Structure 1
Amino acid sequence: MIMPRGSELLLPANPMFIGLSLLLALALEMLPIGRHAASPDLLALVLVFWIVHQPQRVGVGLGFIFGLLMDVHEGAVLGQHALAYTLLAFFAVSIHRRLLWFSVPSQALQILPLFAAAHGVSLATRLIVGGMFPGWSVMLAPVFESLLWPVVGWLLLAPQRRAPDPDENRPL
């Protein structure tokens, strides 16, 4: 396979690191710091990142499981986050090959509709069962998640960028 211009050769992702980063994102979402409607969903962001970069290890099933965990934690309608994360995971898997050919800012623009749709599904599920509308600031959360895409990408790909065996005679 021909690599996109300007991309670097990365080491394989460590499955333990993938799992720990997802659990850390889950723990950060569960912190009792008082959520605002416009605050980004870090778990959804990390989940989409790993689905795009490692679709053979992270997929729709993990999205469903993490969604159920978030539903139970927040006391939300059982299935609200699970449905949103499952749809988010499905659409991330469906565009992952195309998405990796673009630059990181272009990727952030292309995943913005995915995050907006996931928040829309979660909000619609909440409103259908009689929940309160959190306000129009909820529309800012997908924008913040899209703006965090380059930062999350830089952080989560950092362990793969290091040389496996640094040697002055090998260029890779």
Structure 2
Amino acid sequence: MPKAPSTLPRSHLFGAQPLLLPVNPRFIWLTLVIAWMINLMPWGQWPGVPDVLALCLIFWSVHEPRKIGMFAAFLFGLLMDVHQARLLGEHALAYTLLSYFAIALHRRIQWFGPIGQALHVLPLLLVTQLVVYSVRAALSGTWPGWSWMLDSVVAAALWPIADRLLLAPQRRAPERDDTRPI
């Protein structure tokens, strides 16, 4: 027979998360460089293909705001602008705003599970793309239509997978012990 809610351990009442190991800063930068390289692939310009670098920047801005910040977002934004031969600064502005809002909301976002976090990340991704396309529309006079929103929806849907993959090295035990329950 199940116990009454008042007699359950605190961890069951509040949805406690397991303790994580500290993240290696080299791992953070490695994941950002890999995400940047994925964005450099030719299919990155197709509709419905998410901005993996933006997703990775949000993730690390939420989980490690002191180790990754707006400088990294600005740097990778400039690299994306140079790669796409666009106006220098449009991605830098968008990624910097993305990092700022993610850092501002990082405590709130961490209270939720992966699905709730994805719902919080979706508006951040939409604002990022809206900034990029607004700058392009203001300078070139063309609007890409509303299909650009699909990229953000797909990236937000990938958030639970990114959460599992990027936190996996922190979830392992510091020393292997077969008698340890965690």
Partners of 2:21 and 2:174 within 8 A in 1: yes
CA RMSD of aligned residues (A): 1.7
Q: Does 1:144 align with 2:144?
A: no
Q: Give me the whole-angstrom Cα distance separating, in 2, the residues matched to 1:153 and 1:170.
A: 24
3-state SS of the aligned residue for 1:7? coil
- 1:162 counterpart (132, 149, 172): 172
Partners of 1:10 and 1:161 within 8 A in 2: yes
- 1:31 counterpart (33, 37, 41): 41
- 1:43 counterpart (49, 53, 56): 53
- Of the structure 1 ranges 4-13 and 98-107, higher mean CA displacement relative to structure 2 is found in 4-13
Name the count of aligned residue pairs. Answer: 171
- 2:64 counterpart (41, 54, 59): 54
The runs of 4+ residues in structure 1 deviating greater than 3 Å are 168-172
What TM-score do the two structures reach when normalised by structure 2?
Answer: 0.88
Bigger Cα Rg: 2
What is the identity, as a one-letter code, of the residue corresponding to 2:151?
A
After TM superposition, the structure 1 = structure 2 runs for residues 107-118 of structure 1, keeping only pairs within 5 Å, are 107-118=117-128
1:136 shift after superposition: 2.0
What is the identity, as a one-letter code, of the residue corresponding to 1:85?
Y
Q: What is the CA deviation profile of residues 17-69 of structure 1, one whole-angstrom value per residue up to 9, with x for unaligned ones?
A: 11110000001111123621332100000011011001111001111110000
Q: What is the CA deviation profile of residues 111-142 of structure 1, one whole-angstrom value per residue up to 9, with x for unaligned ones?
A: 11111111101100011111532232101111
3-state SS of the aligned residue for 1:121? helix
Partners of 1:37 and 1:134 within 8 A in 2: no
